[in-house]
Structure 1
């Protein structure tokens, strides 16, 4: 008997930084990091069966209920970005996942090897599966929940942290 194949990892989302995303400090504005992460969430939804057809036929979707963004490095205009998504877990109604944003080569085609590159931003998200018609949370269909669980990876070391206030010096 052969072992079942592990699901292939989620594809990288690729995006190029547009001129209108640049702020008064000369780098990508914080709102556009979140926009790109939103595009990565949309891509993850498509890959896991939560695509437009699913949303239209069921009235259900993912709603982000919590997010923690870390801005780690400036991103210039024209930079080619790649976003890696990791599913950290899923239960009956919730999914927890991260996105890691990297600047890649000028052609925008480079692979992202976290051992060789540092992210320019990260986000950790908790999303709830919601029946929009009923106005409340709803369980994932079994096939989607199983797909989410099958894609689960270990959490990166930075996930699960909270914001801490720096104590005042005495």
Structure 2
């Protein structure tokens, strides 16, 4: 079923600070995860899973699985724009993806032909922190997330391929 996407989530923006740079002169791998984590926080804020929601309900999103691809080097001072796509929401699960781009600091959006420097695909659970277990999204939250659902990018759903032949 095809439907028009009602709206897109805002881009998360970040300038790469010196402390994120490793001994090779590029952004260290852990900081890709940090930047993507900040983009997840921004997505949560934009969809109503913000601090007030967490305080009122005791519920939050917990990432339980992820797949990160490092595609290009990122250097100090680079202006990052992270695009977030909600790929699906059902019951107590949310499936989403982030694409990280290096952009001109003044650019409103990455140019159409811009290639991402990294991507991540994530599965998160809606967790009641007091109960210590996943619980279904309230209808209003599920519906709000569903407003942002868009088709998965071609790279989503892939797994890490094993290297070489049989073990032994």
**By the TM > 0.5 criterion, same fold?**
yes
Q: CA deviation at 1:150?
A: 1.9
Q: Which of 101, 118, 129 is 2:126 aligned to?
A: 129
1:71 aligned to 2:70? yes
Q: Is the contact made by 1:80 and 1:104 (CA closer than 8 Å) also made in structure 2? A: yes
The CA distance in 1 between the partners of 2:47 and 2:6, in whole Å, is 11
Q: Which residue of 1 aligns with 2:107?
A: 109
Gaps of at least 5 residues in structure 1 are none
1:41 aligned to 2:14? no
Superposition TM-score, scaled by structure 1 size: 0.92
After TM superposition, the structure 1 stretch with the greater mean CA deviation from structure 2, 82-91 or 140-149, is 140-149
Taking the TM superposition and a 5 Å limit, the aligned residue runs for 1:1-170 are 7-105=6-104, 107-113=105-111, 115-168=112-165
Superposition TM-score, scaled by structure 2 size: 0.93
Gaps of at least 5 residues in structure 2 are none
User: What does the per-residue CA deviation read over 1:91-122, in whole Å, with 9 as the maximum and x for residues that have no partner?
Assistant: 010000000000001x2434124x41100000
The CA distance in 2 between the partners of 1:101 and 1:64, in whole Å, is 18
Q: Is the contact made by 2:91 and 2:136 (CA closer than 8 Å) also made in structure 1? A: yes
The CA distance in 2 between the partners of 1:95 and 1:38, in whole Å, is 15
The CA distance in 2 between the partners of 1:104 and 1:110, in whole Å, is 9
Q: Is the contact made by 1:14 and 1:108 (CA closer than 8 Å) also made in structure 2? A: no
The secondary structure found in structure 1 opposite 2:98 is: strand
The CA distance in 2 between the partners of 1:148 and 1:122, in whole Å, is 20
Q: Is the contact made by 1:81 and 1:108 (CA closer than 8 Å) also made in structure 2? A: no
After TM superposition, the structure 1 stretch with the greater mean CA deviation from structure 2, 126-135 or 142-151, is 142-151
